[in-house]
Amino acid sequence: ALSYHENWQQAWHSPEPKKQYDAVIVGGGGHGLVTAYYLAKEHGLRNIAVIERGWLGGGNTGRNTTIVRSNYMWDQSAALYEHSLKLWENMTRELNFNVMFSQRSVLNLAHTLNEVRITKRRINSNRLNGIDSEWLEPEDVKREVPIIDLRGGGRYPVMGGSIQRRAGTARHDAVAWGYARACSEMGVDIIQQCAVEGFDIEGGQVTGVRTSKGHIKTNKVGLVVAGHCGVLANMAGFKLPVNSRPLQALVSEPVKPIVHNVVMAGAVHAYISQSDKGELVIGAGTDAYNGYSQWGSNPVTEDTLAAICELYPLFKRMRMLRQWGGVVDTCPDASPIIGLSPVKGMYLNCGWGTGGFKATPGSGHIFADTVANNRPHPIAAPFALDRFRTGFLIDEHAAAGVAH
């Protein structure tokens, strides 16, 4: 019988790359692995490789604060994120792997009259799209989150907020492991510690991928590398309207259960939830400058912790355990890019910025359809790269819930 560790070692095979694949997905994060999963499961491709320069889930998929919700403003976003939320609700059964999806509800607080108006407008838009979303008066917020100081320390009073009760959190690296195991069972080659270093492009068509483990022939490439999408686009000879910058998070020492939902406060760049182990999981806004570092910086976390102490005074004596960052790729309208690239046979799934974890299953599902059929899935179509030429943007900065 295999030990637990040996069992894990064999959850997915890690072969050396073959000389040729029908499709190569660059990026072994959640979005890339789900794409490979549906290419195999729903589109009958069997000769697929996922190429990951580090380890599975080592990018933003394993670094995020795990919030899952679908309460975005515009119809196009509602279709995308609600498609994903429905897949989250069945993911553990689909993968036979416990991703610990916990629908504990997500609150988005409003601290100014402007945020009250924007939030109520978003709630009405959600309800028109069949998404569960409610307005809470300050006393309702207090009932949901008894430890909150509605005065917000006097600086940012709580004037109400939205709540989505089907929203919640999940175990992020379990998502990568669950899909990796399912991919491997369908014969997808998952190749870690293998960096893509360039592309062969002939007559505008991709024909191969150059990697640190050798050359691979293919005429179908999905770029799913989050904060490094601009780097890979440059390798392929085109530019993306994306800013890549660190987004940070931190966790406290574990304490008894005291926060039973997720509480986000965009105006003060602070949001919290509590992990099943009892740690406070705290998120901040992005750094103010572009960069590819994956570690924290004190000014950002100091601001966030000051806001946390104003909203939840009893946390003033909590000790922080760990702080880290990830490189998030944000588009000018805070919406993703899903679709064809300027290079034939090369497809883009990026620009998810501070909020792509919640879209992981839906993103991979519609991107696989786009890659397999060489045309955008209907839900992906509005998120084409071309929108930055036509000007038909899908601005979700307010719903993003995080300053960037």
Q: Are strands 221-223 and 23-26 parallel, antiparallel or unpaired?
A: parallel
Q: Does 103 bind ligand FAD (CB under 6 A)?
A: no
Q: Is 28 in the site for ligand FAD (CB under 6 A)?
A: yes
163 is a site residue for ligand CSCC(=O)[O-] (CB under 6 A): no
Query: Smallest gap, in angstroms, from Cβ of residue 247 to ligand CSCC(=O)[O-]?
Result: 7
Stretch that binds ligand FAD, among 39-47, 113-121, 143-151, 244-252 (CB under 6 A): 244-252
Q: Which of 17, 160, 161, 283 binds ligand FAD (CB under 6 A)?
A: 283
d(CA 138, CA 132): 19
What does 133-148 look like in DSSP terms, one character per residue? -EEE-HHHHHHH-TT-
Contact range with ligand FAD by CB under 6 A, out of 72-80, 178-186, 198-206, 243-251: 243-251
Q: How many CB atoms lie within 10 A of CB 333?
A: 20
Q: How many residues bind ligand FAD (CB under 6 A)?
A: 39
**Cβ-contact 21, 46 below 8 angstroms:** no
| Count of CB atoms situated within 10 Å of the CB of 323 | 17
Compute the distance between CA of residue 257 and CA of residue 280 in angstroms, rounded to an integer.
10
C-beta of 32 vs 152, nearer to ligand FAD: 32
For residue 205, give every residue at least 6 positions away whose Cβ sits within 8 Å of its Cβ, in sequence order, or none: 219, 343, 344, 345
Residue (71 or 219) nearer to ligand CSCC(=O)[O-], CB: 71
Residue 53 touches which member of ligand CSCC(=O)[O-], ligand FAD, none, C-beta under 5-8 Å by kind? ligand FAD
Site map 46..65 versus ligand CSCC(=O)[O-], x via CB under 6 A:
-------------------x
Binder to ligand CSCC(=O)[O-] among 67, 123, 174, 394 (CB under 6 A)? 67
| Residue with Cβ nearer ligand FAD (170 or 340) | 170
| Listed residue (340, 379, 360, 352) closest to 221, CA to CA | 340
Contacts (CB under 6 A) with ligand CSCC(=O)[O-], residues 207-246: none
CB atoms closer than 10 angstroms to residue 366? 27
Alpha helix (H) residue ranges in 89-137: 91-95, 113-128
Closest CA to 220 of 45, 90, 352: 45
Judged by the rule CB under 6 A, the positions of this chain that interact with ligand CSCC(=O)[O-] are: 65, 67, 69, 283, 354-355, 358, 400-402
